[in-house]
Amino acid sequence: MLNALCRTRRLARFVLIGALAMGLTLLSRTHAQPAPDKQTVLITGANRGIGFEFAKEYHAAGWNVIATARKPAEAVDLKALGEGVRTVQLDVTSAESVAALKDTLHDQPIDLLINNAGVGVGLTGGPLLEELKIDEFEQVMRVNLVGPMRVTQALLPSLRLGKCKKIVNISSGLGSIGWNGQGGFYGYRESKAGLDMFSRTLAAELKPEGFVCIALIPGWVKTEMGGPNAQLTPEESVTAMRKVIDGLKVGDSGKFWSYDGTSVPW
């Protein structure tokens, strides 16, 4: 009887130590620091479209990738990329979500931030101001303009610790005032024009610290937003944009470029 009790206690101790060890391993994995020799990129809206292609290509190029998704549990393509890609929840319109992202990162160095998450409005509706739904307009401004500003503000400590110091805001040709001869696309145009101004203002502020901040147009790309008739595949667009990003120098800060590195009128 006494022997059986001792055996049960030994077994319980064994199970407890095993569980503790497993817990510690899981904990260390959750807070695993990326390999220090690798560069780190954070991409918003990386579960699909252009953002996913960025995550895939930077991962293939050997970077640590922090890929954000509004619903990480559903980001199956991102998860399939495997080790080296960390998926983190982020809704760029939510102050709580952005604060949680900042906490999760513990001010770890980020070399490159790609503010990619975005939504369209007026892309399928009519071209007239009377047809614009103002609540939709406010939402697109929150995602496409306030979102990148909020995310960048929160991640500045991490970006200051990074070596590359690059911030890329994914804009649109529809945000160019110079190119706007046709009108329409109310809401989307204003949000991207605002994002371009943010890029330029941030570039001026952070230039003395060696940052490069640009607004970059991906071209018309076959994604949920771009539709099936778009000119470029995500791969064609992102491969070209990565070339531009790789080649950025401090003197390029504050520029507004297309995916192929050509200059775009504000």
Ligand X SMILES: NC(=O)c1ccc[n+]([C@@H]2O[C@H](COP(=O)([O-])OP(=O)(O)OC[C@H]3O[C@@H](n4cnc5c(N)ncnc54)[C@H](OP(=O)(O)O)[C@@H]3O)[C@@H](O)[C@H]2O)c1
Which sequence positions are flagged as catalytic?
172, 188, 192
Among the listed residues 226, 248, 253, 258, the single contact to ligand X using CB under 6 A: 226
Could you say which residues in the range 164-183 bind ligand X, by CB under 6 A? 170, 172
Q: Does 51 bind ligand X (CB under 6 A)?
A: yes
Read off φ and ψ for residue 230, nearest 5 degrees: -60, 160
Listed in sequence order, the residues at least 6 apart from 75 whose beta carbon sits closer than 8 Å to its beta carbon are 46, 47, 67, 69, 87
Among the listed ranges 8-16, 115-123, 178-186, 196-204, the one in contact with ligand X (CB under 6 A) is 115-123
Among the listed ranges 26-34, 46-54, 208-216, 241-249, the one in contact with ligand X (CB under 6 A) is 46-54
- What is the maximal distance between C-alpha atoms in the chain? 91
As measured in angstroms, the least distance from the Cβ of 44 to ligand X is 6
Per-position DSSP letters for 43-84, written without gaps between them: ESS-SSHHHHHHHHHHHHTT-EEEEEES-GGG-HHHHHT-TT
Among the listed ranges 105-113, 123-131, 217-225, 248-256, the one in contact with ligand X (CB under 6 A) is 217-225
SS3 102: helix
Question: How far apart are alpha carbons 261 and 256 in whole angstroms?
Answer: 9
Q: Does 230 bind ligand X (CB under 6 A)?
A: yes
Angle between helices 147-161 and 188-206 in degrees, nearest 10: 30
Q: Does 266 bind ligand X (CB under 6 A)?
A: no
Nearest Cα to Cα of residue 102 among 114, 88, 112: 88
Residue 166's identity, in one-letter code, is K
As measured in angstroms, the least distance from the Cβ of 210 to ligand X is 26
CA 54 to chain centre: 9
Among the listed residues 47, 158, 176, 199, the single contact to ligand X using CB under 6 A: 47
Residue 82's identity, in one-letter code, is G
Q: Does 48 bind ligand X (CB under 6 A)?
A: yes
Nearer to ligand X, 113 or 170 (CB): 170
As measured in angstroms, the least distance from the Cβ of 72 to ligand X is 10
Nearer to ligand X, 50 or 206 (CB): 50
Which residues of the shown chain bind ligand X in the complex (CB under 6 A)? Answer: 44-45, 47-51, 70-71, 90-93, 116-119, 143, 170, 172, 218, 220-221, 223-226, 230
